[in-house]
Structure 1
Amino acid sequence: MRNLFIFIFSVLMCVKSYGQNEVLAQQYYDKGEYKKAIIAFEDLYKKSPRKINFFISIVNCHQQLEDFETAEKLLLEELKKPPLNPILLVETGFNYDLKRDTITAQKYYENALEYSKGKISSSYIVGRAFEKKSLLDYALRVYQNAMEENPNYNFMNNIARIYGEKGEIEKMFSSYLDLIRDRVEQKGYAQRIISQFLRNDPNDENNTLFRKLLLKRNQQEPNLLWNELLSWLFVQQKQYKRAFIQEKAIYAQGDYSLQRIFELASLSIEDGDHETAREILNYIIENSNQDATKIRASQNLIQIDLESITDGNYTEIQKRFDTLFETYGRNFKTVILQRDYANFLAFQKETPETAVQYLKETLQQPLNKRQQAEIKLALGDILVYQEQFNQALIYFSQVQQTLKNDVTGQEARFRVARTSYYKGDFDWAETQLKVLKSSVSQLIANDALQLKLIISDNSLEDSTQTALKKYAKADLLAYQKKDTKAIETLEDILQNHKGEKIEDEALFMQAKLYEKRGEYDKARLNYKKIIEFYKDDILVDDAYFAIAQLYLNHFDDPEKAKQFFEEIIFNHQDSIHYVAAQKSYRKLRGDTIN
């Protein structure tokens, strides 16, 4: 037993030493210490003569030292050893290319091609050897020959990639389409590569080319795959109406669910294309035979239409809710619809007492844990709106306990923290927020961190937390949609707590409320104050991004917007707005954006 242990230990030590020597040899090569690298690789090759990559590394070192004669001698000697390794034919040809002997180089390249023809199974390693030397035309010939000789070989991925490197975009697109047609499981991979050559602009040359190729294929060899890819292309270009046409064609073939179309509706809503979203949702309602799907689509339609109402007349919305409940009833199938209706009663019709009673009745229905959680969270939100904080905390805490390790449970914990913050219990709020900083939901984690910083930063210098209490009150007023009172409360902070850390937070929240009311000049002034007086604080990048958006969308001054986007790009690379600022800046500059 002891001898066996010693043997195993010795083998492990040898493997470890061997691996370290290989790393050392590569480090020498990467640092340009080619003479040391040659010695290290020669030692490795002696110990493992079957590992051709060590030999090639030795040759590459001599080539880097421009000692092509030694490299040639080594290659020719190695070629004499049976069995022939076709990679060495490519390497030898390349060495002659480096010596500017193109005629001899081509002879070896052709020999490698002939070898791969005679032994199809070697096509991949020969093709890759050519690719590594950027001998793309030779690599293409290898792969194409292999596929002609044996249809079971599929090198379309390699061929498409080579066409892309050569800048032959049409051939690249066609090759990827062939790949997807023959191996549909490669569709996602191919789309990721193709997307690198497409732009947001439908009129871009590559976009136009790809669209024409798909339309041509759809005419010559009809296949729903081409409709799916056309839909995908139109989504990339944010042409949701055109994507919808393709999705309808796919659904009309039968055996397809409406899920893809629902996802398209969601994308349309997110991008603000409400006209197309309405059309899609109505189509879903007309064509679905599932109550749950119809209810969900109807809910989304109501939410879109609620956003467009500015005169406070909700009669039509009330009728639609009534019709839905008459059709589907108040039961476990309509739980989320009931939640939405309660929110409508509380926040649009401003009858929170009715909404609370309505949700309490919903809780009497036979609901599962998740349905109960949804209703309790909504109930808690309305109670916060009414400033019945203790009652709200009971419902939020119940959800937190029921779904402890779930995202919904973490959302409930955040609402506990936020409610405690509204009522001025900052210590308990901060305790909850510390836990949520590591939430599995990045959105919850970010919100928790932001609120925690507000509390901690503004508790140190003011033991009475007077300004923080006013700020939390303003935050609550904003939640209650009492924007005028919220702005006045923030103004009180700005007038009576000058120089305190809460000032930039107050300026920023007030600016957002001004924007909501369309008072863009006042919002701009606040953002400028943050940039001028709080340039080292955490809100400055938010201010730069917000003021850039104002200049872009409301003051029609793209040059001014560019300046503020530029500030984020060059001076705030860690900002959450960095990617969006970079994209907007490049678009304003006239770049082609991926």
Structure 2
Amino acid sequence: MLKRIFLLLIICCWYSGFSQTNEDQAESYYIKGEFKKALIIYENLVKESPYHYQYNLKLIDIYQQLEQFSDAREIIIKILSQRYNPMTVVVLGYNYQLEGNQLAADKYYGQTIDFIDENPNYINSVAKRFEDYSLLDKAIEVYEKGKRLTPEKNYSLQLARIYGDQGDVELMFSNYIDFIAYSPDHINSIKRAFSDFVSEDSSNDNNIYLRRQLLKKIQQQPKIYWYEMLSWLYVQEKAYKKSFIQEKALYKRSQESFYRIIELASIAHEDNDDETAQTIYKFILESTQNLGALLNAHKSLLEIETNNADDKMILEIDKKYQSLFEEYGKSERTLPLQLAYGKFLAFNLKDTESAIKFLKKSLKLSISKFQQAEVKLLLADILVLQEKFNEALIYYSQIQVNLKNSPLAQEARFKVAKTSYYKGDFDWAESQLNILKSSTSQLIANDALDLKLLISDNKYEDSTQTALKQYAKADLFAFQNKTKEAITLLSQILKEHKGGSITDQTLFQQAKLFEKTKQFDKAESNYLEIIKDYGEGILADDAHYYLAELYNTQLANPEEAKEHYERILFDYQDSIYFIEARRRFRALRGDLLN
């Protein structure tokens, strides 16, 4: 008896495996569009398993692909005679539609939709079947009926997706908003869905639709999540001041939302909206006793002040730092403030010796090895500022050894390469950059590749490498905030090595320094020269993008900006600027982003 059972099991397993192999082969033919080959296998599978619903559905589909509609209809009717299934009725209706008999198709579609009045459990499956056949209006009709028949459930997410596919953005927004009210925990996923439809342009129709609906919700039902959504929309529009108004209203209702205000301050700060960032940081100082938040607000306020300070204000900022250290002390908790002050001493007060002395005291605190690495990284930067390259390399190397393969170690390796480049040791710099091309940090990998290409393209220009050494020196001047000297040396390179391989890179670097010193007309001239004379070079897309940005933000010439964004879209589709250029081009053109 046991032997017979064992034999049956073997046969069943073999048969199951055989059927699976046939099904896989048939599916492979189907995907390739070889429907006649797939048909033979599925006909055999249905003969072997006549009640297998999925095999029958696939066979129906193949008959329809081959326009053998009567064969498909015969199978559909056979299935329905065995068991009534509303999804199969949709299949029958669709088969009549393919035959060109729309009257019969509508009849069966109507029967299916009527069926769910008494059987609402079929709402999702019937609607999904309509969606499978791209009968989106029918799917909408089913989901809308579902809202009425089963108010305890919610079909807004499905409706929003369909309206989005149809391009009806206003109804899509409306349904997503209904879903937020039903399930506020999904608000972040809804934000991601909205992000494809709104832009920086507050006058964009999509932005207006969403803003109106959110404001209406706040008036009717002032829930926390409506304020949060409106704040998020204002952030997309870079209207940080308006976002802050919503966040303050939100904070009054829920103290737990304070972290969002901190995040908004950081976003405004990074986007150079100094006025709003300062307002928010001051609000943080007035509203919390959290030491981390307070110290970060103080540090960020001083950084903003420093970026806009003249010589007299710099001395006042120094006093503010000293006052903060008197109040909060120098410890592990205040290390970010200490790092900011060390950088301020070296790069703004230009007192590098005091900066090094101060930071070496920070190293003696009870801090983690990662915090030590941050201090050493800044110390090394300051030594590069002093052109004490060998001492700087010691600190960078220590970080690499102590924190192998960490982001800080990769940053230190890049700075080893950059320091060697400043020194004129191009071979060693290049060897380090080769390692960094596969860095886990995309930013470091990109910077490493750019510097490697600069060196490899120019180190053989002449035996003395004069132009490359001059360019590296100008690069060092820029790092040392000696912008005027950097611009002058770059002009000398352009004069002495005109037409050389380094010319386009020199023009580009100088253009960026012209922008920094607000010499926008000179920057424009450099970018145009790159486009004219080096349009086939690796910096052509950079020149188009930065020139477009210059026209868009500084020279008030949106038409020219649009032209250069468009050039990237048509001529440089592999450019790292492609996505941003497309977004900005569409915003300038006034597109509905969807």
Residue of structure 1 in register with 2:3 after alignment: none
User: What RMSD over aligned residues (CA atoms) do the two structures have, in Å?
Assistant: 2.9
Residue of structure 2 in register with 1:159 after alignment: 159
Q: Distance in 2 between matches of 1:161 and 1:492?
A: 59
Q: Distance in 1 between matches of 2:35 and 2:550?
A: 57
Q: Distance in 1 between matches of 2:56 and 2:317?
A: 77
State which of 15, 21, 24 in structure 2 corresponds to 1:19. Answer: 24
Q: Distance in 2 between matches of 1:42 and 1:240?
A: 63
Residue of structure 2 in register with 1:211 after alignment: 211
Q: Distance in 1 between matches of 2:422 and 2:199?
A: 46
After TM superposition, give the deviation of residue 229 of structure 1 in Å: 1.2
Q: Name the stretch that deviates more: 439-448 or 458-467.
A: 458-467
Instruction: Find out whether 1:567 has 2:567 as its counterpart.
Output: yes
Relative to 1, partners in 2 of residues 1:422 and 1:557: Cα closer, same or farther, differing over 3 Å?
Answer: same
Relative to 1, partners in 2 of residues 1:10 and 1:117: Cα closer, same or farther, differing over 3 Å?
Answer: same
After TM superposition, give the deviation of residue 24 of structure 1 in Å: 0.8
Superposition pairs of residues 144-543 of structure 1, within 5 angstroms: 144-151=144-151, 153-165=153-165, 169-310=169-310, 313-543=313-543
Q: Distance in 1 between matches of 2:462 and 2:45?
A: 68
Relative to 1, partners in 2 of residues 1:50 and 1:348: Cα closer, same or farther, differing over 3 Å?
Answer: farther
Q: Distance in 1 between matches of 2:121 and 2:169?
A: 29
Q: Name the stretch that deviates more: 127-136 or 198-207.
A: 198-207
Residue of structure 2 in register with 1:73 after alignment: 74
Q: Once the two structures are superposed, what CA deviation does each residue of 1:259-301 show, in whole Å capped at 9, x if it has no partner?
A: 2111111221233222111111111111111111101011111
Q: Distance in 2 between matches of 1:165 and 1:593?
A: 13
After TM superposition, give the deviation of residue 37 of structure 1 in Å: 4.8
After TM superposition, give the deviation of residue 458 of structure 1 in Å: 1.7
Relative to 1, partners in 2 of residues 1:51 and 1:317: Cα closer, same or farther, differing over 3 Å?
Answer: farther
Relative to 1, partners in 2 of residues 1:167 and 1:340: Cα closer, same or farther, differing over 3 Å?
Answer: closer
Q: Which amino acid aligns with 1:72?
A: R
Is 1:228–1:247's contact at 8 Å kept on the other side of the alignment? Answer: yes
After TM superposition, give the deviation of residue 550 of structure 1 in Å: 3.4
Q: Name the stretch that deviates more: 201-210 or 416-425.
A: 201-210
Counting aligned pairs with the same residue, the percent is: 45
Relative to 1, partners in 2 of residues 1:518 and 1:215: Cα closer, same or farther, differing over 3 Å?
Answer: closer
Q: Distance in 2 between matches of 1:9 and 1:106?
A: 45
Q: Name the stretch that deviates more: 96-105 or 245-254.
A: 96-105
Q: Distance in 1 between matches of 2:391 and 2:232?
A: 48
Q: Distance in 1 between matches of 2:110 and 2:540?
A: 63
After TM superposition, give the deviation of residue 552 of structure 1 in Å: 3.8
Superposition pairs of residues 578-593 of structure 1, within 5 angstroms: 578-593=578-593
Is 1:250–1:256's contact at 8 Å kept on the other side of the alignment? Answer: no
Relative to 1, partners in 2 of residues 1:285 and 1:571: Cα closer, same or farther, differing over 3 Å?
Answer: same
Q: Distance in 2 between matches of 1:124 and 1:528?
A: 58
Relative to 1, partners in 2 of residues 1:591 and 1:147: Cα closer, same or farther, differing over 3 Å?
Answer: closer
What is the DSSP-based 3-state SS (H/G/I as helix, E as strand, rest coil) of the residue aligned with 1:332?
A: coil
Q: Which amino acid aligns with 2:349?
A: K
Q: Distance in 2 between matches of 1:157 and 1:490?
A: 58
Is 1:22–1:44's contact at 8 Å kept on the other side of the alignment? Answer: no
After TM superposition, give the deviation of residue 573 of structure 1 in Å: 1.1
What is the DSSP-based 3-state SS (H/G/I as helix, E as strand, rest coil) of the residue aligned with 2:29?
A: helix
Which segments of 5 or more consecutive residues in structure 2 lack a partner in the other structure? 1-6
Q: Which amino acid aligns with 1:585?
A: F
Q: Name the stretch that deviates more: 440-449 or 69-78.
A: 69-78
Relative to 1, partners in 2 of residues 1:452 and 1:312: Cα closer, same or farther, differing over 3 Å?
Answer: farther
What is the DSSP-based 3-state SS (H/G/I as helix, E as strand, rest coil) of the residue aligned with 2:419?
A: helix
Q: Distance in 1 between matches of 2:167 and 2:315?
A: 59
Q: Name the stretch that deviates more: 121-130 or 195-204.
A: 195-204
After TM superposition, give the deviation of residue 493 of structure 1 in Å: 2.6
Is 1:477–1:486's contact at 8 Å kept on the other side of the alignment? Answer: yes
Q: Which amino acid aligns with 1:282?
A: K
After TM superposition, give the deviation of residue 372 of structure 1 in Å: 1.0
Is 2:29–2:37's contact at 8 Å kept on the other side of the alignment? Answer: no
Relative to 1, partners in 2 of residues 1:193 and 1:406: Cα closer, same or farther, differing over 3 Å?
Answer: same
Q: Once the two structures are superposed, what CA deviation does each residue of 1:476-518 show, in whole Å capped at 9, x if it has no partner?
A: 1111122232233223333333443222222222222233233
Residue of structure 1 in register with 2:4 after alignment: none
After TM superposition, give the deviation of residue 429 of structure 1 in Å: 1.4
Is 2:531–2:540's contact at 8 Å kept on the other side of the alignment? Answer: yes
Q: Distance in 2 between matches of 1:250 and 1:11?
A: 60
Is 1:551–1:558's contact at 8 Å kept on the other side of the alignment? Answer: yes
Q: TM-score, normalised by structure 2?
A: 0.91
Is 1:569–1:578's contact at 8 Å kept on the other side of the alignment? Answer: yes
Q: Which amino acid aligns with 1:18?
A: E
Is 2:159–2:172's contact at 8 Å kept on the other side of the alignment? Answer: yes
Q: Distance in 2 between matches of 1:216 and 1:559?
A: 36
Q: Distance in 2 between matches of 1:137 and 1:507?
A: 57
Q: Name the stretch that deviates more: 329-338 or 532-541.
A: 532-541
Residue of structure 1 in register with 2:131 after alignment: 131
Q: Name the stretch that deviates more: 236-245 or 303-312.
A: 303-312
Q: Name the stretch that deviates more: 353-362 or 235-244.
A: 235-244
Q: Which amino acid aligns with 1:317?
A: I
Q: Name the stretch that deviates more: 139-148 or 224-233.
A: 139-148
After TM superposition, give the deviation of residue 40 of structure 1 in Å: 4.5
Q: Distance in 1 between matches of 2:521 and 2:344?
A: 32
Relative to 1, partners in 2 of residues 1:546 and 1:190: Cα closer, same or farther, differing over 3 Å?
Answer: closer
Q: Name the stretch that deviates more: 441-450 or 544-553.
A: 544-553
